[in-house]
């Protein structure tokens, strides 16, 4: 088991990279703590697999180092890194029984037979595979086979980390939740560093204690699910996480007031002069924007109301810009005209995509 450090890591697939755009992975410095449950979340093409392949040793980084505890493993082959990997598609030996599949990694390492047998029973119990241990692996369903892949990763007690690359892709939607809970349970029991790659925010937020969000080859935020929701460090995180994502509108900011078109919105913090040339934006999640009858608040036109099960979301327009807002149960509207009430504690200001922290009112410069 190990702490994994990425030290000034960067990777370009093309030889002789010059500009930032030449890098599939822009510089990353990150520490994955021993025993942590991490998700690596981002859209297709953002560099997740490249990063995972660097950790596992399938790709050698253009720059920087990978350390397992204090050992520099950058030039070590995958086999020498002592990690387990679970891929999108199950990897099982069809000619073997489930028990033989699970025992295989230990047999390969010449672990004594009774220790192997005990460990196989333990892992089978955790994955609910006990009743199929003596069945042939070939006749099992995709989710059972993926559990076997998982079991083969978990069976070695000494692995530095387990890397999962979109492991639930082939699993039926109704079994995904179950398998995710099993993984979480296993993480608690076995105290292994787990890194789970996905483009699915639900998978990331339910599995991980810490989520690393990637966008365009860079890590844009690392945080707990609550931190990503409450304080997105980048507009990309605001958009990508949440359903619907954060409202993000161009604005101007003067001291403790934001201007969206001709609407002045008081802020709870004050901001340094945000200069021309910076893209200044105002962000607030739909959960903190309440639709109300016209008269008080920011005037808007309601375009439609969606029922998304746990809530109703209004799609509105303010000065021609679309926004999403929560609809209270008891609201009664007069035609399309309505207003919005914003929770001022939940407003965030961004410059060129990055969160500007601002300063408490009274202490800041304007
Ligand atoms: N072997 C390769 N040679 C050249 N470019 C590559 C190679 N592998 C990946 N890339 C490029 O590097 C970038 C990052 O790809 P990567 O597969 O790491 O992203 P990803 O987030 O895992 O996406 P996906 O979820 O679609 O696999 C993409 O622009 C991709 O086209």
Cα–Cα distance measured from residue 67 to residue 359, given in angstroms and rounded to the nearest whole number: 38
The CA-to-CA distance between both ends of the chain, in Å, stands at: 50
Is residue 5's pLDDT more than 80? yes
- Dist. CA 218 → ligand 1 center (Å): 13
Strands 210-215 and 312-318: unpaired
Is residue 252 classed as helix, strand or coil in its secondary structure?
strand
Is residue 296's pLDDT more than 90? no
- Angle, helices 113-126 vs 173-190, to 10°: value is 130
The strands making up 4-11's β-sheet, listed across from edge to edge, are: 25-32, 4-11, 63-68, 71-72
Please tell me the residue having the least CA distance from ligand 1 atom 18.
Answer: 47
What CATH code would you report for 4-240?
A: 3.40.50.300
Q: In this predicted model, which residue has the larger pLDDT, 114 or 273?
A: 114
Is residue 241's pLDDT more than 90? yes
Name which of 48, 42, 37, 52 is nearest 207 in CA terms: 37
Instruction: List C-alpha distances in Å: 350 to 99, 240, 274.
Output: 54, 16, 10
The reported pTM is: 0.90
CATH 2.40.50.140 fits 248-360, yes or no: yes
Q: Which atom of ligand 1 is nearest to the CA of 51?
A: 18
Cα–Cα distance measured from residue 148 to residue 144, given in angstroms and rounded to the nearest whole number: 6
User: What residues does ligand 1 touch, defined as CB less than 6 Å away?
Assistant: 13, 24, 42, 44-50, 199
Dump pLDDT digits (tens) for 315-363: 999 988 999 999 998 888 878 999 999 999 999 999 999 999 999 987 5
- CATH 2.40.50.140 in the chain is located at 248-360
- CATH 3.40.50.300 in the chain is located at 4-240
Q: Burial of 153 by CB count in 10 Å (0-12 exposed, 13-18 middle, 19+ buried)?
A: buried
The residue to which tokens 């375009």 are assigned = 303
pLDDT for 366 = 43
Neighbouring residues of 203: CB distance < 8 A, sequence distance ≥ 6? 39, 168, 176, 180, 196
Residue pair 299/323 in contact by the 8 Å Cβ criterion? no
Dump pLDDT digits (tens) for 139-160: 899 889 999 999 998 898 888 8
The residue-averaged pLDDT of 250-256 equals 94
pLDDT for 363 = 56
Dump pLDDT digits (tens) for 63-92: 999 999 999 999 999 989 989 999 988 889
Dump pLDDT digits (tens) for 298-322: 999 999 999 988 889 999 999 889 9
Is residue 351 classed as helix, strand or coil in its secondary structure?
strand
Neighbouring residues of 201: CB distance < 8 A, sequence distance ≥ 6? 41, 240, 241, 242, 243
Is residue 47 classed as helix, strand or coil in its secondary structure?
coil
Please tell me the residue having the least CA distance from ligand 1 atom 6.
Answer: 13
Band of pLDDT at residue 365, cut at 50, 70 and 90: very low
Report the percentage of the chain scoring pLDDT > 90: 77
What one-character DSSP code corresponds to residue 234? B
The residue to which tokens 């901001």 are assigned = 271
Mutate to test the pocket of ligand 1, among 26, 44, 45, 165 (most ligand atoms within 8 A of CB): 45
Cα–Cα distance measured from residue 124 to residue 134, given in angstroms and rounded to the nearest whole number: 11
Cα–Cα distance measured from residue 240 to residue 132, given in angstroms and rounded to the nearest whole number: 40
- Dump the DSSP string for 94-159: TTSBHHHHHHHHHHHTT--HHHHHHHHHHHHHHTT-GGGTTSBGGGS-HHHHHHHHHHHHHS-TT-
Please tell me the residue having the least CA distance from ligand 1 atom 17.
Answer: 49
Number of H helices, E strands in the chain: 8, 22
Other residues' Cβ atoms within 10 Å of the Cβ of residue 79 = 8
- Dist. CA 44 → ligand 1 center (Å): 8
- Torsions phi, psi for 113 (to 5 deg): -60, -45
Q: Which atom of ligand 1 is nearest to the CA of 42?
A: 21
Q: Which atom of ligand 1 is nearest to the CA of 43?
A: 21
Q: Which atom of ligand 1 is nearest to the CA of 214?
A: 21
Is residue 1's pLDDT more than 70? no
Name which of 194, 122, 191 is nearest 162 in CA terms: 194
Cα–Cα distance measured from residue 6 to residue 61, given in angstroms and rounded to the nearest whole number: 10
Dump pLDDT digits (tens) for 88-126: 888 899 999 999 999 999 998 899 999 999 999 999 998
């Amino acid at each position: 088991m190990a702490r994994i450090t990425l030290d000034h890591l960067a990777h370009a697939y093309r030889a002789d990279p010059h500009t930032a755009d030449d890098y599939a992975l822009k510089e990353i410095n990150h520490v994955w703590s021993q025993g942590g449950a991490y998700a690596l979340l981002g859209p297709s093409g953002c560099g997740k697999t490249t990063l995972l392949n660097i950790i596992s040793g399938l790709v050698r980084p253009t720059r920087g180092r990978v350390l397992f505890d204090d050992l520099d493993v950058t030039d070590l082959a995958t086999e020498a890194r002592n990690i387990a990997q679970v891929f999108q598609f199950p990897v099982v030996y069809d000619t073997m029984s489930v028990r033989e599949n699970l025992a295989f990694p230990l047999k390969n390492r010449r672990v004594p037979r009774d220790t192997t047998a005990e460990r196989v029973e333990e892992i089978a119990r955790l994955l609910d595979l006990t009743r199929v241990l003596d069945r042939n692996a070939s006749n099992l369903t995709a989710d059972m086979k993926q559990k076997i892949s998982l079991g083969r990763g978990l069976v070695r007690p000494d692995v530095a980390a387990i890397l999962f690359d979109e492991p639930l892709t082939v699993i039926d939607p109704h079994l995904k939740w179950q398998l995710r809970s099993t993984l979480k349970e296993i993480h608690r029991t076995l105290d292994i560093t787990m890194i789970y790659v996905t483009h699915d925010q639900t998978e990331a937020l339910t599995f991980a204690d810490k989520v690393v969000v990637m966008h365009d080859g860079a890590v844009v935020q690392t945080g707990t699910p609550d931190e990503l929701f409450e304080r997105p460090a980048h507009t990309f995180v605001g958009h990508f996480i949440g359903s619907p994502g954060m409202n993000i509108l161009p604005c101007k900011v003067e001291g403790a007031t934001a201007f969206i078109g001709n609407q002045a919105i008081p802020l709870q913090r004050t901001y340094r002069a945000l200069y021309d040339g910076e893209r200044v934006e105002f962000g607030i999640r739909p959960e903190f924007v309440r639709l109300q009858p016209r008269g008080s608040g920011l005037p808007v036109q309601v375009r439609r109301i969606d029922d998304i099960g746990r809530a109703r979301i209004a799609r509105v327009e303010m000065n021609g810009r679309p926004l999403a807002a929560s609809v209270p149960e008891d609201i009664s509207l007069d035609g399309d005209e309505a207003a919005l009430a914003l929770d001022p504690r939940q407003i965030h200001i961004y410059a060129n995509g990055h969160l500007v922290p601002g300063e408490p009112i009274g202490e800041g410069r304007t």
